[in-house]
């Protein structure tokens, strides 16, 4: 296990000690608990998260108006800025499609007037945040206000219409009847509100992935302050990498405050070995894609963003 | 009889010497003002204390409208050029050429110098020079080394380039390597061309199968011309001012793992340099 897991100071398997958070969280409630703690402690004044239409109905002013057209569909993520615990609790759970969270990073420091911003996002969004801190081309006075960036593990993402097709056509469920979606144990799981469960093999989902994901070389959000995901930990728990100085400080305080129950990552099944395996699979598959792009046409290459 | 100076004042005057340059190895920097709104210069000034530190420790300002008491373009290490060139104005054309001759490194600061930006929409008719209607980004007339796109370019981006330029010219081998790696994408941007538009996101990112919907472009746009449809950027043509911020902020336009992976150390080094 090496570079595929990025640089980290510590790694544990963890879950929130707050039963309320766990009730509607994706796995161990890590992101919700971290942001809740950081809000209480004043480490952040608000956070950019992905919410859904029920949140939009209650707090439309916290969502960007330009996403108003997207606010009627279930499981359609809407980037929003939460500034209270109640709003945070309303935003729990993973929505398996594209949420341009970074689009709010400047707005959070302007209209919302936040000096300490939290943001949760996929590995590519963490890359965007860090590029934005080093090369703030259009992000005036934003970089030093990013107080906590939490990355989530990500193999690939889907356009909303792909999710529609998977849930309604392949799983034959109506979007409105879905309680939770999940990718794990090699399958795409759709849980219905009445208790029904449908699983699709990932082979079916591959062709619905967004193409931009196929050049991504980061599985475990190497550039987050803290990154987390279900892979590697038992059901109901999450694997947590603490990466930066900021991450280390926040995680240390949250642990001291009793926010998390943890187990050593070496002691849990399937453990880091699986994380490492999946990370390597993603990276080598996508490196191959980049190579193929270099000779894509006849003497013509597709553009390579990496320098 | 003329009043006598008290003895202690007389003594003080005698001991006052001309200030010795505290840092011998400063680089020389000039701000060259072409057709721009001075917003780039204001952005540079908006580094506040950081700017004073830069001028104290790293750079001498040898040329700058109203800021340095010189009339003509001076020989300098780094020229920060703001604004596009009005080719109907002989002096502007002469000055941009002179800048290239006299500066070791030419940095195009801001959308106008890089891409024309809002001056692309110039149609003349403005008093007191109504015939001034043709504006070109400086890269159409001279070779440019480094781009700082955006309207206005951010104080932090200008600051980072200034610190890196100092390290490149005066630093240790290690610092030179870091500065080279940091500046490389901005040098490549300068080689890429002199036009910009939100449509670069379409042609170079979405069409190329690279967009993953992070949202950076919408955040970077100074005129809120970009929203997202289906998780992908959608630009409003009539709002776009051609500043190049969206494309250059996009992590899929250019991305250096070498540099960005060390973001913590580099940010700390820049902050330490400005202490």
A111 CB-side CA count, 13 A: 12
Rounded to a whole number of angstroms, the distance from the CA of A128 to the nearest CA of chain B is: 5
DSSP A232-290: TS-TT-EEEEE-SHHHHHHHHHHHHTT-EEEEEGGGSSS-HHHHHHHHHHHHHHHHHHH
Domain ranges of chain A: 7-157+214-294, 158-208
With a cut of 80, say whether residue A132 has pLDDT above it: yes
Residues of A in contact with B254 (CB under 8 A): 305, 307
Which parts of chain B sit beneath pLDDT 50? 21
For position A139, what pLDDT does the model report?
A: 98
Cross-chain Cβ contact A134/B182 below 8 Å: yes
Cross-chain Cβ contact A124/B251 below 8 Å: yes
Cross-chain Cβ contact B185/A79 below 8 Å: no
What is the Cα–Cα distance from A250 to B89, expressed in whole angstroms?
A: 57
What is the Cα–Cα distance from B214 to B232, expressed in whole angstroms?
A: 8
Rounded to a whole number of angstroms, the distance between the first and last alpha carbons of chain A is 25
Residues of A in contact with B152 (CB under 8 A): 140
pLDDT digits (tens, 9 = 90+) for B45-90: 999 999 999 999 999 999 998 888 888 999 999 999 999 999 999 9
Among the partner-chain residues B210, B212, B263, the one whose CB lies closest to the CB of A134 is: B263
- pLDDT category of residue A71 using cuts at 50, 70 and 90: confident
* Domains of chain B listed by start with CATH number: 27-192 (3.40.50.700), 199-253 (3.30.70.20)
Please work out, in degrees rounded to the nearest 5, the angle formed at the alpha carbon of residue A214 by the alpha carbons of A210 and A218.
115
Average pLDDT over residues A68-83: 84
Asked if B157 is an interface residue toward chain A (Cβ–Cβ < 8 A), one would say: yes
Coil, strand, or helix at residue B271? helix
Rounded to a whole number of angstroms, the distance from the CA of B130 to the nearest CA of chain A is: 32
Rounded to a whole number of angstroms, the distance from the CA of A161 to the nearest CA of chain B is: 8
Question: Which of B217, B220, B226, B234 has the highest number of chain A CBs within 10 A, making it the mutation to test binding with A?
Answer: B220
Question: Which of B231, B235, B254 has the highest number of chain A CBs within 10 A, making it the mutation to test binding with A?
Answer: B231
- pLDDT category of residue A184 using cuts at 50, 70 and 90: confident
What is the Cα–Cα distance from A139 to A107, expressed in whole angstroms?
A: 10
List all residues 6 or more positions away from B47 whose beta carbon is below 8 Å from its beta carbon. B54, B155, B156, B158, B159
Number of other residues whose CB lies within 10 A of the CB of residue A232: 27
Number of other residues whose CB lies within 10 A of the CB of residue A201: 11
pLDDT digits (tens, 9 = 90+) for A221-261: 999 999 999 999 999 999 999 999 999 999 999 999 999 99
What is the Cα–Cα distance from A147 to B84, expressed in whole angstroms?
A: 37
Cα dihedral B220/A45/A86/A24 (nearest 10): 70
For position B259, what pLDDT does the model report?
A: 96
For position B23, what pLDDT does the model report?
A: 55
ipTM for the complex shown: 0.95
- What topology does CATH give the domain A158-208? Nuclear Transport Factor 2; Chain: A, (3.10.450)
Residues 197-236 of B with CB under 8 A from A: 204, 208-222, 227-228, 230-232
User: Dihedral sign, CA of B28, B34, B38, B40?
Assistant: negative
Among the partner-chain residues A137, A244, A307, the one whose CB lies closest to the CB of B220 is: A137
Least confident interval from A82-86, A90-94, B42-46, B170-174: A90-94
């Amino acid at each position: 296990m090496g570079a595929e897991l990025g640089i980290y100071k510590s790694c544990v398997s963890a879950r929130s000690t707050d039963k309320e958070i766990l009730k509607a969280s994706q796995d161990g409630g890590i992101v919700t608990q971290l942001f809740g703690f950081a809000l209480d402690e004043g480490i952040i004044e608000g956070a950019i998260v992905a919410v859904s239409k029920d949140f939009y109905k209650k707090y439309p002013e916290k969502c960007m108006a330009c996403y108003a057209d997207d606010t009627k569909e279930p499981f359609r993520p809407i980037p929003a800025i939460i500034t209270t615990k109640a709003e945070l609790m309303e935003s729990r759970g993973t929505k398996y499609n594209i949420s341009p969270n970074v689009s709010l990073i400047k707005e959070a420091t302007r209209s919302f007037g936040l000096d300490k911003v939290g943001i949760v996002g996929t590995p590519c969004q963490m890359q965007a945040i860090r590029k934005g801190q080093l090369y703030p081309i259009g992000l005036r006075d934003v970089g030093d206000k990013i107080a906590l960036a939490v990355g989530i593990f990500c193999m690939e993402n889907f356009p909303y219409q792909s999710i529609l097709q998977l849930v309604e056509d392949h799983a034959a469920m109506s979007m409105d009847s879905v309680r939770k979606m999940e990718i794990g144990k090699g399958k795409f799981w759709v849980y219905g509100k009445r208790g029904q469960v449908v699983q699709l093999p990932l082979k079916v989902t591959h062709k619905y992935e967004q193409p931009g994901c196929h050049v991504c070389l980061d599985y475990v959000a190497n550039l987050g302050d803290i990154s987390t995901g279900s892979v590697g930990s038992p059901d109901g728990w999450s694997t947590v990498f603490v990466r930066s100085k900021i991450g280390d400080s926040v995680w240390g305080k949250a642990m001291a405050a009793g926010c998390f129950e943890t187990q050593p990552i070496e002691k849990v099944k399937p453990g880091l070995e699986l994380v490492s395996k999946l990370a390597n699979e993603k990276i080598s598959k996508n490196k191959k894609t980049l190579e193929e792009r270099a000779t894509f046409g006849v003497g013509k290459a597709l553009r390579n963003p990496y320098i | 009889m003329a009043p006598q100076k008290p003895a202690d004042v007389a003594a003080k005057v005698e001991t006052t010497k001309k200030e010795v340059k505290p840092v011998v190895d400063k680089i020389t920097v000039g701000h060259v003002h072409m057709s721009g709104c001075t917003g780039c210069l204001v952005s540079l000034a908006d580094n506040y204390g950081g700017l004073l530190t830069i001028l104290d420790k790293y750079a001498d300002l040898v040329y700058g409208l109203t800021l340095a008491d010189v009339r003509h373009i001076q020989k300098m290490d780094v020229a920060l050029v703001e604004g596009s060139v009005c080719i109907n104005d002989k002096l502007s054309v002469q000055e941009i050429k002179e800048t290239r001759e006299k500066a070791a490194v030419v940095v195009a600061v801001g959308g106008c110098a890089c891409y024309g930006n809002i001056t692309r929409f110039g149609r003349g008719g403005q008093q007191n020079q109504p015939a001034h209607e043709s504006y070109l980004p400086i890269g159409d007339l001279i070779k440019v080394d480094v781009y700082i796109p955006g309207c206005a370019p951010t104080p932090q981006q200008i600051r980072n380039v200034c610190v890196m330029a100092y390290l490149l010219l005066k630093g240790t081998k290690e610092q030179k390597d870091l500065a080279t790696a940091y500046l490389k994408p901005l040098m490549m941007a300068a080689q890429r061309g002199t036009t910009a538009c939100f449509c670069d996101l379409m042609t170079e990112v979405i069409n190329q199968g690279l967009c993953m919907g992070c949202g950076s472009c919408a955040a970077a746009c100074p005129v809120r011309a970009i929203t997202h449809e289906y998780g992908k950027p959608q630009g409003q043509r009539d709002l776009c001012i051609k500043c190049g911020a969206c494309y250059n902020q996009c992590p899929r336009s250019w991305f250096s793992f070498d540099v960005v992976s060390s973001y913590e150390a580099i940010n700390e080094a820049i902050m330490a340099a400005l202490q």
